[in-house]
Amino acid sequence: MSKSVTGIRRLRNALHYSLEGLRGAFVHEAAFRQELVLACIMIPGSFLLGLGRFETALLIASVMLVLIVELLNSALEAAVDRISLEHHALAGRAKDIGSAAVFLSLINLAVIWLLIVLDYAAIPRVRFSRASMRGNYPPRPRCCTACCVRCCSGSMPKPLIA
């Protein structure tokens, strides 16, 4: 893209090149296709879980991170292969590091999904009614759960099981 191109045309060209990059990754990278299928299942699934906006956004962001890291890894591998197809220790190390980044992003995805889904699938959550919070109760300490008598000295309102 020429540096003299500005405005809407520059944005249109950038969009074109981005879509070409996505198409190239889809056509030439089997791992990207597999992760895209995973994303097509997990992103709509995150909306179906009935979680809050923050949790849903976190689930989607973890899926998108895997796709982004895979695109960067594919670009790195293509650049290394462009330089030389001969085996070289530094080229192998670069590819291995890119692969490790994808692996870590997949671990991140699994941990986030497990923590959020298991948290919402576990035992009923303890909530307080607004009416019971109108009294002069001390704020709940950060070190305990909502119904902890030891830290709260028994002065917390009675929880409602939701």
Active site positions, annotated: 70
Residues 6 or more apart whose CB falls under 8 angstroms from that of 74 comprise: 25, 28, 29, 31, 32
Residue written as token pair 């540096």: 3
Contacts 24+ apart (CB under 8 A), 126-135: 126/159, 126/160, 126/161, 126/162, 127/159, 127/160, 127/161, 127/162, 128/156, 128/157, 128/159, 128/160, 129/157, 129/160, 132/157, 132/158, 132/160, 133/157
Neighbours of 16 (CB within 10 A): 11
Phi and psi angles of residue 127, each rounded to the nearest 5 degrees, phi first: -130, 160
